[in-house]
Amino acid sequence: MENIKITRAATLKEKPDSSTLVFGKNMTDHMFLVDYDEGQGWHDPRIVPYGPLQIDPAAKVLHYAEEIFEGLKAYRTADGSIQLFRIKDNIDRMNKSAERLCLPQIPEELAMAGIMELVKVEQDWVPSEKDTSLYIRPFMIGLDAALGVHSSKHVQYIVVVCPVGAYYPEGLNPVKIYVEDQDVRAVKGGTGMAKTGGNYAASLRAGDRAEKAGYSQVLWLDGVHRKYIEEVGSMNVMFKVAGKILTPDLNGSVLDGITRRSCIQLLKDWGYEVEERRISAEELFEAAENGTLEEAWGTGTAAVVSPIGELAMGDKKVTVSGGKIGPITQKLYDELTGIQWGRVADPHNWITKL
């Protein structure tokens, strides 16, 4: 791998107060870039001052959403050191997304060096207050400047980072979720299993509608039968029904979340039976009505776990766990955040020290 060339910013930004961080708004002083050209491979890895990209208006990413991304965090531990959670799983998933979008594979060593070196340069930006971290956003874009629909031969992999606070500053308050019955996020054979911007574009309308109706997220149903549960907003989703944990299987339109994987592992460690399978919305509402739906929560890097307190479908409404966070949801949150901030042991080797 070529050495990463570092160009330092002439002036540094004032760092924001950690108590007022808004998710994704406080970008740091530098960013990592590396170019790919067909025939040449990846070249010119560099860290440069953070700033606007110069992109040809005909670039494919702007017209055909030739884009993939990842999201992970760097955590400040009690002894002041910095560590990352399951970074290799993120890079591995990025290469799976790349394959689906006809973007080039990026060597793990290069993708990882871009992240680690940028976090080193920006280490003063990793906050230390409780529940704060440095959010890391690697992404890859197709840049060929031509309007024909083809995969790009010129591509960039870029990493930007920003300090973030607790996702829910007022604590883990259960959210109200609406079962979406009009739009679908993804279909099998489409790009649902890839972390790509287009999936998010497809989700915006339902998200806006839910928000206007007083719900914070939508529960997505499958695009074929419009019956089976897939994800919640931009998180995977889990339910505790009659003592067992249920979560939709990775059927091709559900994203293979790393928080999902981590929760499944912890739940199995604790002796729970975890079923990854098709779950219909009807089954869930029946469980709620007969009292066996004990807990429901979303899982994702940004929020870790997000308890669900109310589910609505058409004119039916059910309360979950008395509208409060359930004990397993709380235990998962405590254990995962414990590992991430280095407060508890890491038996599965999920942590990489900077």
Ligand X SMILES: *Cc1c(COP(=O)(O)O)cnc(C)c1O
Selection from 207, 163, 217, 176 nearest residue 312 by Cα? 176
Q: Do residues 328 and 317 make contact, with C-beta atoms less than 8 angstroms apart?
A: no
CB of residue 231 vs ligand X: minimum separation in angstroms? Answer: 5
Residue of the chain from 87, 235, 241, 303 that contacts ligand X (CB under 6 A):
235
| For ligand X, the closer CB: 147 or 224 | 224
Q: Is 236 in the site for ligand X (CB under 6 A)?
A: yes
Q: Is 258 in the site for ligand X (CB under 6 A)?
A: yes
Residue 169's SS3 state is: coil
Residue 83's SS3 state is: strand
Q: Is 263 in the site for ligand X (CB under 6 A)?
A: no
Residue of the chain from 18, 44, 64, 71 that contacts ligand X (CB under 6 A):
71
| For ligand X, the closer CB: 104 or 257 | 257
| For ligand X, the closer CB: 101 or 258 | 258
* Residue numbers 171-200 binding ligand X by CB under 6 A: 195
Q: Is 97 in the site for ligand X (CB under 6 A)?
A: no
C-alpha–C-alpha distance, residues 143 and 278, integer Å: 38
| For ligand X, the closer CB: 46 or 260 | 260
215 token code pair:
């719900």
Give every CB contact of residue 317 below 8 A, 6+ residues apart in sequence: 310, 311
* E strand map for 110-241: 133-142, 154-164, 175-179, 217-221, 229-232, 236-241
Residue of the chain from 33, 246, 255, 296 that contacts ligand X (CB under 6 A):
255
Give every CB contact of residue 334 below 8 A, 6+ residues apart in sequence: none
Q: Is 300 in the site for ligand X (CB under 6 A)?
A: yes
| For ligand X, the closer CB: 144 or 231 | 231
CB of residue 234 vs ligand X: minimum separation in angstroms? Answer: 5
Residue of the chain from 234, 321, 329, 337 that contacts ligand X (CB under 6 A):
234
Residue of the chain from 174, 207, 223, 257 that contacts ligand X (CB under 6 A):
257
Q: At what angle do helices 108-121 and 87-100 cross, to 10 degrees?
A: 130
Q: Do residues 194 and 231 make contact, with C-beta atoms less than 8 angstroms apart?
A: no
* Angle at CA of residue 293, ends 292 and 296, nearest 5°: 160
Query: Which residues in this chain contact ligand X in the complex, by CB under 6 A?
Result: 71, 195, 231, 234-236, 255, 257-260, 299-301
